[in-house]
Structure 1
């Protein structure tokens, strides 16, 4: 815990005293000029030299010799000199000649206006019972208070570059804001850290109080180098976040104060509904998207650390570049360059844009890094584990594992096997910087490959008929015969077979599908199983799949 040094006396420079000093100086100088001109006129009318009265001490003898003629003008000049001296003395006492006069706002001045004092004295409110009751009421609750006479409820708290910022308002310039120049590095806060500042403590952190005047676009800021009371506590919470509480009572005439708990961010990421806002244009957003993307490119346990070295943002072109350092468990260190673009889903990685450069060779050559969709050079199939054959329900043993699925149509899907229910499984796939859940039916699935390289073949359901069914061949053949004897309408079967054959020629090609509700989507036709087809639509750095029943499609054609 840090406590500031013992108090010293400080003097508040009031604007009223400055105005009074300036008025006394103006009156004194004006009276001095008038009295001097009066003495010169009186001397000229009596035949004396008026030049003697330009210098007060030189004309002292002449005034003394002819006191009855010059006494009123002489007394007026003495009074003018005294008035000027009092004005100068008052100006010196208020610090005006030392350059510490507060900068007053001017209506004609554009931009941010600052008011500040080198030394600020406290007010009675800072140590009053009223302030104590207000801060006690807010303790243990979400940070609230009053700033410059307006209610305050924080929208964002950040500790960046040693400055603690508590702001209200989502705009580029906050509506209400307090900044405390702590000089703390967030990375050094590994345990609870506190700071207590008293109203008369020396060496207190500089505090800025900012507000937007009515009808103004730019805020005004008042600077305090002391005179306030603050109790601050910060503790590590999560990556890029700190939990904290504050009690702050300001020595202004509006009785400003803050009290309560908050979550402080140590970067410029913006959040919307508890998630990172991928539409916010900032280098930290690019770094976040790139790091999250890199975390999905390695098997579990292979990645130790990802650190962004540099991020460049070009707002006009809506593109960016991130250079990151990747440390692997085998000792290898890589430098990866990733290009990003702003798409409909926000900032996302440009597919196929990543460049890799190995800066430190792996220490253990026995550890092999396997990346998704990338085969290791020189790898032979003889080293792969023997494939196994399982039924669909037995795949539940691989839930929560990273797998690669292959469908009957030849499509490959990779992700985390989330659950199996009935004759369907659910796979969580990475799309851009987010996730999408895909459902696959048992009839569509051909095989599954684990992260270890082990292949699981799906056993045909027809090869495992119940014993009761095997013991009744006559009933089965009879039922088949009865089905064969049914009259089949050629009008209903031939168009369906012809439609399926035409659609199968479009598999793997880009098509446009118009649904019965009028919606249109353009993508790659992935598969056609029974009466359901799968369309893959590009989204950001990945793709999203849509499923259609043939009955729900109004029109389908190859894209030009």
Structure 2
């Protein structure tokens, strides 16, 4: 609607200008040629106002739908308006080094969807538009585990379970929290993805949700398969992610203990803003557990371990007579049960409510009230729902607005 109003306004203004130039040519050839230049056009308007005012009025009428259309566009998609006014659309489209090639057509919740971030990690395919804490628009598809070198999946609305869980979310300009819809049936999904070195999936993507959700996407996508980034064929150590830190720490431990048989436990790092980290590291080195305290710093070359003076490992040598002996047996990844209480915040709860569903929480409001019980999700109004068992089968339900919550605790790991 906004685009039609803007186009209608511009058309009326253009017709008014063409009519004015035609009037100038009908007056004389001199005025006609002169009307093509703005200063002479203004002089013609002042001298022949009685004849030219009709064309001016037609052009002025075009200002009304133009202003209405621009106002609607600003309220619905401010970034798109800014890109139009800054004339970015006139520049040749260039793909930044290391960026993803995403060519999707369609809409999410009735609005154009242009994701800048895409990944398929730990079995979750995510397409995300916007770089803030809450995505402006996002699609998540939870698959049954991380796929191998190839992923082919075709589902129709009537196909039986089990089916991946599809979640879409969107954040309107006047909202503080995004709205989300989840469904496990009634949609059409087609994936044909191939793994490409070093850490990407590339292929076709097609998703159609029920008509009430106004979401259909089709095209070719490129996704990261981990949170490492590469530059000129090498790992970009300046990228802030747990995978980058794990890469740096694994290389450090391999050189420190002179072995390639190193496996790391999860690091659980969420804040990289300080540029310095003091991490407790649990690793399995040659089959033996190691507990270390390691300091990292982000320098010009990226993340590095402080006081790292260990030499590089010698290149692995292959013995032709015994090839199996040259292969180092890499220890399995250490599995640790992650205590979700350590990183729990209200923002994490709102961002991923399914991760904490049915766990014991305790919330305190700004007015001093306390609500304790099991977390029962976030309702359609964005309120945190806490369910408390009173006695027997009796229950009480608390619905708290996020802005009214002073503090919230997770009582179970």
TM-score, length of structure 2 as denominator length:
0.42
Which structure has the greater CA radius of gyration?
A: 1
TM-score, length of structure 1 as denominator length:
0.32
